[in-house]
Each structure stands twice: as structure tokens, then as C-alpha cells.
Structure 1
Amino acid sequence: MNTQYTNTTTPLLTKSYGDQHGGASDVAQAITELTKSANARIDATAAELKEFKEATNAQIMDLEQKGVRRPAGDDGAAVAVSSLVLKSNGLSMLRDSSVKNLRISVPGFELGQKATITSNRVHVNGKRETEIFGSMGRRIAVRDLLITRPTKAASIEYLKGNRTGTAAIQVVEGDEKSQIDLSTSLETAPVRTIAVWIPASRQALDDEVMLADYIDTELRDALQLAEDAQLLKGSGTGANIMGMWTVATGYIRHVTGDKPSDTLRRAITQVQLARGVATGIVINPIGLEMLELDKDGEGRYQFSYTVTDDNGRASVWRVPVVVTDAMGPTEFMVGDFSRAARLYDRQQATIEIATQHQDYFTRNLLAILAEERVALAVMRPEVLIKGVFTA
């Protein structure tokens, strides 16, 4: 197979090739022409680089002068801030500490073209307080007045005694002496359940550290309020506890003109006449206010109430006071609570969390339950005195 080659050699190279068969002068002339052509290309490239460099420097200068606006002068030259500082009359005063700061106006600095920074344009994050604030639990409750015992029974059986008759002097030898009768009755105090619950999401408890403690506190406080209501006003019917108010002895020593403080003092005496020692007073917050604001005919407070312990429990007529909403605004109870009743804890207040409620498992919800099981036995209702303040 024969291949034909096309001669694409430049005339210069062709001449150079011919010189190999001709004279040396032709070769030197070809080299000279080739050198001139290369130098011309180098000069053209250098000119292009110079032009590019000048254009780049002009752009850089334009960017640098954007921080300084041209003044309104005739020459239109850019004004440097540093030169304005050096020319300022206050510079010497700044140096010798005559002034604390120096303010210089820059001519032509166009503030109107800049956006004003205001509070609604800048978002500042507030500090998040982790503690949750809400309702507050009470320091003391009705159970604090009672002797409490644990139990494993479902109900408490106890003997309630009653005495009739009194002892007397034997007037004449041989006479029949005084006789008293003691009767007892078997009573039963069933264990009752007091409970409250709230739903919550699993994510909320995982993400909020303080939420679990807040829920625990609130549930326990709600449980305590319900317990107060049952221990005092429980009717004893159905699943209710037989409360102390339900079986207490009524106040019978009222005297016309008595004020609330007088009534409480006479109630304390009624407890003592029943062979008891007053260990507590249960009253509504409004009732305690009535006592503390009691004044004489000249507007002077009758007496002040002191604090008897670290819980801030007030003392009226030397008897500790428990304040609870379970009592009516004008109701009161005075008693020897340590002898009158016993509280039995079958299950102390506990907090349980579970998903076994409806479809809570699939919805990532939790049921948080606060629960207790207690029984109340009132053995001596005669040393519990209940009453109402009269106007």
C-alpha cells in the first residue's frame, strides 16, 4: 500500500531545508527571521499583560475609595479619614487628655444611602429560664396533725369505747358505791384510694428536664388537696373516707358578742373538758385572716400570731394552725388529733409512669399517675370540736 504525503512545511522551513543542499548564508538568514518573529510575539504578550495590570489596579483603587465618598470640592479628590484626623483641632486636646473622645465629620459621607439598624432588624435571643413556675404546694397538711402508721391490710378494725357514769364519794360506809359503764363497739375503716393522673408525651419528658419535676410536684399537691378534703369532709359513703368533720362534736360554748379569737379559745376549753389536749386548729385562709385582723374598739390589733416552726405554721392561743381550702371560709376545727384519730398508710403517695392506656404506646404518650391508699380511724370524736364563726 502506497501512502502519499502532502508537503505542509512553511516556506521558511522549505528554504532552510534547501540550504542543506545550498549555501550557509541562506541558513543564517532563516534563523534571523525566526528570531524576529518570536521577539514580536513576546512584545505583544508583554503589552497585553501591562494593559491587564493597569485595568486591575484601577478596579482595586475604586474598591478602596468606596469607603470614602468624594467631597463637594472642585477638585473632586477622595478624602482619606486619616488626613482628616491629623488636620483636626481636637487632636492635640486628645493627646493631652483634655478630652476623652474625638468626633470628626467626613464630607460627602452619604448616611442616607445606608439602612438604619434598629431593634426590629436585629434579633437578640432571650435567656431561657429552665425552671417552670406555677402553683405552689402548701407547707403543711391535715395529715401532719395525725399519728400515721403503715399497714398491709385492706381495712382497719378497731374498738371504739364509750364510758357512762362518774366516780363519787361514798358518803356512808356500807352505801352502794358509784358505778360506771364501759361499752365498746367494733368499727371498720376501709382502705381507700386517692389518685390523680395526667397524660404527657414521651418527647416532652425527654426534651424538658424540668418538666418531669414540675409534673411530679403538681400531681403530689393535687393529691394532698384531695387527701385533706377526704380526711376532713369525707362522707364515709361509697368509696369515701369517713372524715373527722363528719363525726366530730359540735361547738356548744358560744357566748353572745364573741369574736373569732374568743370562739377558738372557748373551743380549746371544750376539748380540755372532754379530757383532751388541743394539738391543732384547722381553718380556712379567710378564717385565719379574720383572726389576724381582729381589732379592739380603738382600732388596735388584739394580739399578734407568732411562727412556731420552720414550716411557717402560725400559732393561735399556743395551738398550731393548719390552713387548708378544704374548710369553709368561716369553719373551724379544734382537737386533740393525736388521740382522736389514726391515719394508716397502705400505700404512700407514689408517682407511676406507664404506656398501658388506650393507644398511648403507639402514640408515644405516657400516663403519669399519682396515687395513695389510706385508711382513717376516728376513735375519740368527742375531742374533735367543729364549729362556725358567727358574725
Structure 2
Amino acid sequence: MKNHTNSTPLLTKSGMQAGDDNDVAAAITTFSKAANARIDTTDSKVKSLTELVSGVKAEVMELAQKAVRRPGGGNSSDDESTDSVSSIVLKSDGLDLIRADAVKNLRISVKGFGLGQKAAVTNTDTHARAERDTEIYGPLGRRTAVRDLLVTRPTTAPSIEYLLGTRTGSAAIQAAEGDQKAEMALAFELKQAPVRTIAVWIPASRQALDDEALLADYIDTELRDALQLTEDAQLLKGNGTGVNINGLWTQAVAYSRAVVGDSPSDTLRRAITQVQLARGVATGVVINPIGLELLELDKDNEGRYQLAYTVTDADGRTSVWRVPVVVTDALAANEFLVGDFSRAARLYDRQQATVEIATQHADFFTRNLVAILAEERLALAVNRPDMLVKGTFTTV
């Protein structure tokens, strides 16, 4: 017998098992991927739902706290309007829809909250802070002073002595050779101008000066201005008695050239002439602000201004009849003083205006206080009082 070999592979049990195993493995892999995808989707939904529920719980807690804080809130179980917010939310059917992922938001109407009855919040409630201006505003000082008209010299003496000379007689033509010529006599009077002290002080705490530099500068300025106001008053109207300065107005000669019907401008012009007749040259006019207004508003019968006054410098000083003006309320409203100030008087500074700070006053050291002192020492010598003319405007 001859053996025959078949080229077609035989189907065996072992062959069938191998093919089935491959199919099963592929099916398991596909199922596993699908399952994992489903699990991931489910986890994502669960996570979203958990976050949503957490948010709802937070809102519920916040509403519950607000309900407890409101007057009468959460204290009555008989009226729905007084139930706590948390109980109202838990009773709501909408919470089941949140759990079932059927809705994403939950809105519950809470009665009796009275939100519309609350007052609007304003700046008064919050006490908003205003912006602070760093500058300190106080009274303004004078832009010009009487001393601006005077020649000023330093001195180290306690007083100033000067001679006032007068003469009698005059020169004359000799009548004939050998005749007696004209004789003139000179007389002298010794005058004295004592140095006077003008001072002012103010107490302040050390902390106020340390913590606010602007305050220290403000106090310094105000003290110096106070000195100038008193200085003006003394230089003009000091009566020379006691410790007072013998002032310019006090020693000036009276205006003597009045003419009936003169206007204020006329009067002032005639006073300038009076200074010139005393062989002086008018270098200044001292006048009250109201008096200057009277001069500048002087009009004729047709309402036209009589004279235009010009401003001569950056300080705003006016020139009246070509003479510089110092405006001060140390003179009365209807008073004026005209003079050759450069030759009529001398001002001597024994100590120029200074500001000092010290703790040596009473118990200031233990109280942490300081005394701030402004002081000046000066003397006024009026050498030629006849070159100063004082007067009043009768129409003021």
C-alpha cells in the first residue's frame, strides 16, 4: 500500500482553540475600552454634580446665616415667611432635580426677606475718607511795610542819639562898606531814640512740630507777620511815652495848604508841594486802603475818572502823583502821610526779626511743650520832622 500526503491542514481541537482565544481577547479589549470610557464619563458627571451640590450647600448656608441675622428671622415655625432658609431649601422639590442631574440651577423664592426695605449704602454709612489739602491757609500778610520807605541801618547800641539843628536869621546884602553884615544863629537840641523790643510768642507741642514740618513753617510766618503789624503801628503812631516808639505820624507837621472845594486828589497833591516847600522831595505816601480807593474812584460831574493811577512793581504798589504808595490799615480810613522819608528819618535795627524755640518756660520741659518766640529790636530817629506832612481827607 502506498501512503498519500494531504496538503490541506487538518482541523484539530487544538487549532480551533487557538483561533477562538484570539477572538475573545479582541472582544475583551474592545469591551474594556468601552467600559473605561463609560467610567470616565460617569466620573466626570459625578464630579460636576458634587461641585454643583457643594455650591448649592454654600449658597444655602449663606442664605441661612442672613436669615438668622435679620430681625425676627428663623424664630417662628408657624409662618413660612419665618422659616429658616435651609429648611425652605430642603423642603423644595427642586433639590431632587439637582440630585438627578435634571437641572443645573435651583431658584427658590423666600418670602419675608424684605430686601427692598433696606436703605441704600451711601458715603455717610461708609465714612469715605476725604482728600487732605496739605497747605495751611491763614490770614495774608501785608505786601509792603512802612520800613520799605525808610533808610535802615544796623546798630549795637541800646539807644540812638542825634542832634536837631535850627537856625535864626538869614544872609543879606551888605548895605555899605564897613557896615555890619547879617548874622545867623544856630541852635542844637540833643535827641535820643531808645531801642524798643517788639515780641510775640506761642506755645506748641514738640510732637506737633516734629510730625508736621508745614505747621512749623506756618507758625513762623504768622509770628513774623504779627511783628510787622505792630511794627507798622509803632513806626507810624507810636506816641513816644513809656516803652513806645516816637512815630512818624506823631512827629510830622500838619497839612496846611487846604483850599475850599479840593478833592482828595487835590489835597494829596498840595501835601506833596508842602514837602517840596520844606526843601524835600516826596519819596512816599502812606495811606489806608479805603483812602486809596477814594483817590482812584474820584470822578468829575460827567462820571469820568479824574486821574489814572499806575502800578509800578510786582508788589502791586500804586504811584500817586508820581510818588510810591504804601497801603496800611495802621492809619485811619481818612488819614494820609506824605514825606521825604529818605531824609526825614532813620530806622536802626538792633536785632532783626528772629524766631526762637525753647523749652525753658514754666513746666514746658516736663509737658513736652515748646515756646516759639518772634522778636525784633529797633529804634526810630526822626531827624527832619518838617519833611513829613500828615492830614485827612474831609470827604471820607
TM-score, L = length of structure 1: 0.73
Q: Which residue of structure 1 lines up, in the alignment, with residue 388 of structure 2?
A: 384
Indicate yes or no: 2:229 matched with 1:225: yes
Separation in structure 1 between the aligned mates of residue 359 and residue 213 of structure 2, nearest angstrom? 20
Contact persistence 2:167–2:184 (CA under 8 A): yes
Equivalent residue in structure 2 for 1:327, among 304, 323, 331: 331
Query: Deviations 1:132-158 (Å, cap 9, x if unpaired)?
Result: 001011111000100000000001111
Deviation, 1:124, is 2.6
* Percentage identity across paired residues of the two chains: 67
1:78–1:272 Cα change, 3 Å: farther
User: For residues 109 and 325 of structure 2, what CA distance do their matches in structure 1 show?
Assistant: 79
Q: Which moved more, 1:273-282 or 1:153-162?
A: 153-162
CA distance in structure 2 between the partners assigned to 1:269 and 1:109 by the alignment: 97
**What pairs with 1:110-259 in structure 2 (closer than 5 Å)?**
113=115, 116-170=120-174, 172-259=176-263
Contact 1:281 1:335 in 2 (8 A): yes
- SS of 2:124's equivalent in the other structure is coil
Secondary structure of 1:245's counterpart equals helix
- Deviation for aligned residue 1:309: 1.3
Matched, 1:347 2:351: yes
Report the secondary structure of 1:152's partner residue: coil
Q: Report whether the alignment pairs 1:265 with 2:269.
A: yes
d(CA) in 2 for partners of 1:132, 1:186 = 49
Structure 1 residue 176, shift from structure 2 partner: 4.0
Deviation at residue 307 of structure 1 after TM alignment: 1.1
Q: State the distance in 1 between where 2:164 and 2:55 align.
A: 107
Residue equivalent to 1:62: 56
Query: What is the deviation of 1:268?
Result: 0.2
1:149-180 CA-to-partner distances (Å, cap 9, x unmatched) read: 00000011111111233334445555544333
CA distance, structure 2, for counterparts of residue 312 and residue 202 of structure 1:
39
Q: Quote the Cα distance in structure 1 between the aligned partners of 2:296 and 2:139.
A: 25
Does the alignment pair 1:305 with 2:309?
Answer: yes
Letter of the 2:330 partner, please give it.
A
User: Separation in 1 of the partners of 2:124 and 2:173?
Assistant: 95
Distance in 2 (CA, whole Å) between partners of 1:164 and 1:272 is 21
Instruction: Specify the SS of the correspondent of 1:361.
Output: helix
- What is the aligned partner in structure 1 of residue 43 from structure 2? none
Paired residues of 2:288 and 2:334 also in contact (CA < 8 A): yes
| Partner of residue 322, structure 2 | 318
Report the Cα distance in structure 2 between the residues aligned to 1:228 and 1:362, rounded to whole angstroms: 38
- Picking from 278, 287, 308, the partner of 2:282 is 278
Counterpart-to-counterpart distance in 2, 1:346 and 1:109: 87
Deviations 1:342-372 (A, max 9, x none): 0000000000111111111111111111100
CA distance in 1, matches of 2:55, 2:358: 72
Partner Cα distance (2:330, 2:233) in 1: 5
Cα displacement (A) at 1:378 = 0.5
> What is the CA–CA distance in structure 2 between the aligned matches of 1:249 and 1:123, rounded to whole Å?
65
Q: Report the AA paired with residue 219 of structure 1.
A: L
Deviation at 1:312, TM superposition (A): 1.2
1:314 and 1:390 map into 2 onto residues whose CA distance is 22
For the structure 1 residues 184 and 120, does the alpha-carbon distance in structure 2 shift closer, same or farther, using more than 3 Å as the test?
same
Relative to structure 1, the CA distance from residue 321 to residue 63 in structure 2 (aligned partners, 3 Å threshold; closer, same or farther) is farther
1:234 and 1:308 mapped to 2: Cα distance? 30
> Structure 2 vs 1, CA of residues 64 and 356 (structure 1 numbering), >3 Å: closer, same or farther?
closer
Decide whether the 8 Å contact of 1:65 with 1:78 is kept in 2: no
TM-score (norm 2): 0.72
Give the C-alpha shift of residue 112 in structure 1.
6.6
Rounded to whole Å, the distance in 1 between the matches of 2:289 and 2:52 is 85
Partner of 1:120: helix, strand, or coil?
helix
Residues 59, 189 of structure 1: CA spacing in aligned structure 2 closer, same or farther, 3 A cutoff? Answer: same
**Distance in 2 between the 1:362 and 1:248 partners?**
51
Query: Please, which moves more after superposition, 162-171 or 295-304?
Result: 162-171
With over 3 angstroms needed to count, the CA separation of the structure-2 counterparts of 1:78 and 1:224, relative to structure 1, is farther
Q: How many residue pairs end up in the alignment? A: 314
How many angstroms apart in 1 are the aligned matches of 2:160 and 2:365?
Answer: 38
Q: Deviations over 1:291-348 (max 9, x none)?
A: 1111111111112211111211111101011111111111110000000000000000
Aligned-partner SS, 2:250: helix
Aligned AA (1:210): L
Q: Give per-residue Cα distances to partners, 1:179-215, cap 9 Å, x unaligned.
A: 3322211111111101111111111111222111111
Which runs of 5 or more residues in structure 1 are unaligned? 1-51, 81-105
Deviation string for 1:22-69 (max 9, x for gaps)? xxxxxxxxxxxxxxxxxxxxxxxxxxxxxx9999656414158779xx
Q: Deviations over 1:238-265 (max 9, x none)?
A: 1111111111111000000111111110
1:290 aligns with: 294
Does 2:364 align with 1:360?
yes
Matches within 5 A, 1:6-45: none
Paired position in structure 1 for 2:374: 370
Query: RMSD value over aligned CA atoms?
Result: 3.2
Q: Which secondary structure state, in structure 2, belongs to the residue aligned with residue 362 of structure 1?
A: helix
1:66-85: per-residue Cα shift (whole Å, max 9, x none)? 79xx9xxx9998677xxxxx
SS at match of 1:166: coil
